[in-house]
């Protein structure tokens, strides 16, 4: 039995949450807030990609410089080996020089491409930030308009629709107090009149008794 009540309770709670979610989804401000949160998450992802591209560009620069330095070093060593008549060392240094020069050229091209990609990413990222900022400002404007509309609606309800009800209650209360005052005064007058009549009759009987003697 307890499990049955628990299932019923959970079912009612789930239905209630679904109704509330549907109600919130129909609110344009709520939908706009959700869209802004999604846009902020996307902007944050792009920011991380931009930072990653910066790191890649710096890595390409370091690797290019290392390859260029090694190519220069092997070129110098090839010249020394050639002067010394060391053919095998000369060939090895020359082969290494060519390998490093080829690597340096490839790294230079990759570095140039990464810089161009980074520039494009930065422009898109700045555009996204401006769009996001404009959306935040637009949301503030819409929220301000919504607040004003709600305030006017509440004021109109008090001024126009609800204005007659309190005064009708005041009129009812005024009539009730007037009736109550009338009853109190009437009762007082009635009691006073009866008291005076009793006193008058008592005086008349006294005078009659005196005359009879």
pTM of the complete model: 0.51
Q: Are 122 and 100 in contact (CB under 8 A)?
A: no
pLDDT reported for residue 37: 87
Q: What is the pLDDT of residue 19?
A: 47
DSSP the chain: -HHHHHHHHHHHHHHHHHHHHHHHHT-HHHHHHHHHHHHHHHHHHHHHHHHHHHHHHHHHHHHHHHHHHHHHHHHHHHHHHHHHT-HHHHHHHHHHHHHHHHHHHHHHHHHHHHHHHHHHHHHHHHHHHHHHHHHHHHHHHHHHHHHHHHHHHHHHIIIIISSHHHHHHHHHHHHHHHHHHHHHHHHHHHHHHHHHHHHHHHHHHHHHHHHH-
Q: Give the residue, 123 or 11, on which the prediction is more confident.
A: 123
Helix axes 87-156, 28-84, angle to 10 degrees: 170
Tokens coding 171: 């009129």
- Is the dihedral angle over the CA atoms 104, 109, 113, 115 positive or is it negative? positive
User: What is the overall mean pLDDT for the chain?
Assistant: 80
pLDDT at 5: 46
pLDDT tens digits for range 150-179: 888 888 777 766 555 555 666 777 787 787
Stretch 173-199: mean pLDDT: 73
More confident residue, 150 or 10: 150
Residue 120 has pLDDT above 60, yes or no: yes
Assign 70 a pLDDT band (cuts: 50, 70, 90).
very high
Over residues 11-23, mean pLDDT = 51
More confident residue, 47 or 198: 47
The percent of residues in the chain predicted with pLDDT above 90, rounded, is: 27
For residue range 71-85, list pLDDT tens digits in order. 999 999 999 999 999
Query: Picking from 85-89, 94-98, 126-130, 175-179, which range would have the lowest pLDDT averaged per residue?
Result: 175-179
* Of 153 and 64, the one with more pLDDT: 64
Cβ contact 67:104 at 8 Å: yes
């Amino acid at each position: 039995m307890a499990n049955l009540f628990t299932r019923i309770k959970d079912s009612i709670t789930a239905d209630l949450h679904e109704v509330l979610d549907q109600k919130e989804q129909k609110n344009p401000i709520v939908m706009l807030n959700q869209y802004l949160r999604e846009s902020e998450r996307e902007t944050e992802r792009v920011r991380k990609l931009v930072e990653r591209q910066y790191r890649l560009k710096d890595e390409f620069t370091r690797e290019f410089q290392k390859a260029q330095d090694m190519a220069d070093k092997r070129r110098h060593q090839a010249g020394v080996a050639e002067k010394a008549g060391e053919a095998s060392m000369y060939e090895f240094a020359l082969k290494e020089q060519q390998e490093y020069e080829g690597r340096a050229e490839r790294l230079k091209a990759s570095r140039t491409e990464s810089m161009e990609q980074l520039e494009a990413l930065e422009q898109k990222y700045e555009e996204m930030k401006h769009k996001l900022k404009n959306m935040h400002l637009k949301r503030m404007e819409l929220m301000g308009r919504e607040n004003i509309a709600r305030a006017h609606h509440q004021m109109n309800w008090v001024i126009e629709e609800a204005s007659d009800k309190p005064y009708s209650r005041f009129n009812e209360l005024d009539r009730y107090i007037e009736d109550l005052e009338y009853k109190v005064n009437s009762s007082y007058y009635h009691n006073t009149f009866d008291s005076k009549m009793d006193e008058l009759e008592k005086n008349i009987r006294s005078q009659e008794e005196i005359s009879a003697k």
